[in-house]
Chains A and B, each alone.
Chain A
């Protein structure tokens, strides 16, 4: 649904009237089938489910009485494709196209539940009917991400029906720019893109800056690998970002906005584009917004696959069409930014918080969280965790609760080892510090950082030296090369880490990593370099024993580093099923078969030829009987 059934709105009363008429219309709908079309569900094949529903509802002649709504991410990616049936709120998980006819016959027509599609709570082993009862959601507070389920991102009416653009109307009709900035400052909102700078204060600097025009920018580059929060907001609820930017622009005194979107997110570009077009048609963007006399419009720029372009000055250079290399920030971008003009850059999630604060007030917002970290934070909870997905929690919640209560702990009975927070600028936090609350300062004190919201869980099978090498490799490749400490420092640190992973490290290497890390931190030009050593320094701090095992004993305790491990088959455990033989890409495995028939039948256990083995782990992954051992 992408048609706007209204003329351009020319006043605040028009918006209220349109909203009421949409809401009245919505009340008549009996049943809504909400289908998650987020990135996780897509990877699990939700497109086929969506098609199956469309066709089946048509065939059954139900397309009038049942509304189908395809939305952005619901969060519980692990169990996708997800389907929610309203008004009962029945929550089905792991749905396939084959399930659709039965859902229609039983649940839609006869109010019966399909037992096999219900979620079973891990702790109580009880099947539950609605999303509210699902343990994954129970500890969350979804003020930013929760609306995704209510909204078809291609349909501005859905956003209006849940109160969309009422904050903009309030700001334009009842508030002065200074008053808006005051409320944002009072709320304690801090940037969700990494640094955690006070949003209200940044706005104030930009408002005070000399020079015209001024620009407001949205950072949708989301370069942090393992993070997809901003993607789900841009794809699932694009109007919340537009509304936030429009309010910010009015407060700062800007008439032009830019959204810089990561190149890997084509759907975000598409949905933001549709949203901008629909908002223009309704007069919520463009000239004389809602008859207030305020003009504001937004352009979208696509990134082109450079991590450094998430950094503010590099991002602005990239929008200008230049190579994205950062500059020193003696002069702030709020004074001299995009095209040399005062510019205010905020992250996607930061912008999405703005309408909430304007509507519900700064006191409500600052009642959530810790002394200096307010509101909620959206995280992508991924890696070695049972319930992967998108979670939104109040600031101040301890990491242990996120990982064990919401995330459901570690799969396959393995042991938790670390959680990586803050991406390539962040750090790895060990089990002993899991009672640390989500709070900007406390995470920084641990040598990690809040970052943009990637939480990557690692278990006993993850090698911490390999992780440090992984991040250093990433940063070395992504360093723009402008300043020497970052360009050369990351390269030398990578060489040392590679050596250690290959079993050729020395104790001096560990010391050199530390001193070099401190140099790169102090001397680099931009945030990429100053934070680049964090993953190395934090793993050295908390997992020194693993480094020592690599350096002194030439051993990789997690069984990851190829040069230090070998694979073998335990004959007693081998059932000769031949799965490993088939999985081996280099024909290094002999045996693993059964000979003869009936009683004569004997098993020949598999044997790995160490000279041929390339240590690709294929046999280890393939074996269902834990017969392949890593040593």
Chain B
């Protein structure tokens, strides 16, 4: 996301990022840990937040950005109010996870990795959530749904309003 796009998103309060980074610096935590906690706070890593973290941790911005793009659990875009993760792990794959993801992409009108324009839904595919026995698995804001098929996707989406 370019910086113009970012500034169109509302002004972000950066005090929390500054505080989290300072606390971790005192404890000698790693940069990955700082970014994780900062992402938990803001839901994603904006350019402004990354700049604050880099400054506080006394590393170049490129280093923070490098980590944020190498590790897939970091997001540079805001996530939706409902963040939907679809497991594409092997156990879920052999039970038809690709159809579940395809249906969600069609129904929400976005691809995995994207957020709807109204910031209501975001969709991502992940590699195994460790609940393989009940696959295909879909997790929405931390709540697991097991044995998901096209019909269950309808039910789940209906419940989100």
A: which residues have CB within 8 A of B? 39-40, 42-44, 77-78, 80, 222-228, 231, 262-266, 301-307, 318-324, 380-384, 388-390, 420, 423, 454, 456, 458, 462, 467, 470-471, 474, 478, 480, 583, 585, 616-618, 621-622
Contact = CB atoms under 8 A, between A and B. Distances in A.
Contact of B94 (A224, A423, A456, A621): A456
Contacts of A43: 131, 133-134, 137, 144-147
B46 to A, nearest CB: 17
Contact of B91 (A306, A382, A480): A382
A462 B97 CA distance: 13
B127 interface: yes
A263 B137 contact: no
A585 B66 CA distance: 40
B48 interface: no
Interface of B: 29-33, 35-36, 66-67, 70-74, 88-96, 99, 102-103, 106-107, 126-135, 137, 142, 144-147, 149-151
A600 B9 CA distance: 62
Contact of A306 (B71, B90, B102): B71
A225 B72 contact: no
Contact of B71 (A227, A304, A380, A470): A304
Given A43-B137, A305-B73, A320 B30 contact: yes
A618 B132 contact: no
Given A304-B72, A304-B73, A618-B150, A226 B90 contact: yes
B102 A321 contact: no
A474 B132 CA distance: 17
Contact of B134 (A40, A302, A321, A622): A40
Given A454-B90, A616-B103, A228 B130 contact: yes
B133 A263 contact: no
A621 B149 contact: yes
A380 B99 contact: no
A264 B70 contact: no
B99 A617 contact: yes
A383 B137 contact: no
A627 to B, nearest CB: 17
Contact of A383 (B29, B90, B129, B150): B90
A242 to B, nearest CB: 20
Contacts of A478: 127
A561 B71 CA distance: 31
Contact of A302 (B33, B128, B146): B33
A277 to B, nearest CB: 16
Contacts of B129: 39, 264
Given A77-B134, A318-B32, A382-B133, A225 B66 contact: no
Nearest to B148: A43
Nearest to B35: A304
Nearest to B132: A382
Contacts of B96: 617, 621
Contacts of B131: 39-40, 42-43, 228
A264 B133 contact: no
Contact of A319 (B30, B71, B128): B30
B150 A585 contact: yes
A144 B89 CA distance: 25
B94 A383 contact: yes
Most buried by B among A225, A318, A323, A383: A225
B91 A226 contact: yes
A389 B94 contact: no
Nearest to B70: A323
A456 B91 contact: yes
Nearest to A474: B127
Given A226-B128, A301-B30, A383-B95, A622 B151 contact: yes
Contacts of B66: 323
Nearest to B127: A225
Contacts of A39: 129-131, 133-134, 144
Given A80-B134, A307-B127, 18 more contacts: A42-B144, A43-B146, A225-B91, A225-B132, A228-B131, A302-B32, A302-B36, A303-B73, A304-B74, A321-B32, A323-B70, A382-B132, A390-B133, A471-B90, A585-B103, A585-B150, A616-B103, A618-B99
Contacts of A264: 126, 128-130
7 contacts: A43-B137, A225-B91, A228-B131, A320-B30, A321-B67, A384-B94, A616-B99
A474 to B, nearest CB: 7
A204 to B, nearest CB: 29
Question: Taking each of A264, A319, A454, which has the highest tally of chain B beta carbons within 10 Å of its own beta carbon?
Answer: A264
Nearest to A481: B70
A380 B35 CA distance: 32
Nearest to A457: B94
Contacts of A77: 133-134
